[in-house]
Amino acid sequence: MNARLEPIVLYIDADACPVKAEAYKVAARHDIGVEVVANSPIAVPREPGIRRVVVESGPDVADDYIAERAGGGVGVPPPDGPGPPRCDRAGAEVPAPKGPPFPADSIGLALATRNLMEDLRSAGAVTGGPKPFAARDRSAFLSALDLAFVRLKRAGFRTGLTPD
């Protein structure tokens, strides 16, 4: 892949991303196209460069879509799914919704925890959700996303609002 020809695209798993609105703003500031991937039609801003992508229903289908395309961009898949390691292997920047990139050595633990919690819930256990998303988490994510765009632009990827 010739980085100078590849556009930067921000791929968002809309079903699991708590920072969509913030991500749209950072992408617009950098002139980056956005693909919002979901299993059913959802509302997205009617802004240039933001495109809704509806994929079929099923576990991890949105992650699959993002991982297959994210080599020249930034993926924001849910932290407890298979998306982060697959996007990372494809060469994408993968900031976590709470800021820093996913450390490669923690992906296995995140997936194991996800599977364990899924098994507990299916057995009828009542489990708590993640900690509430705080203002500092949003700020950390915005900084990480901004840095990811800067790194990709310095590497020679092009910008442009059309994510085609």
154 pLDDT more than 50: yes
User: Coil, strand or helix: which one is 33?
Assistant: strand
What is the pLDDT averaged over residues 25-35? 91
Sole residue written with tokens 């990480």: 144
CB contact at 8 A, 158 and 8 = yes
Q: Given this model, what pLDDT does residue 155 score?
A: 82
Buried b (16+ CB within 10 A) or exposed e, 75-114: bbbbbbbbbbbbbbebebbbbbbbbeebeeeebeebbeee
164 pLDDT more than 50: no
Tens-place pLDDT, residues 51-104: 999 999 987 788 788 878 876 566 665 444 555 555 655 566 667 666 655 555
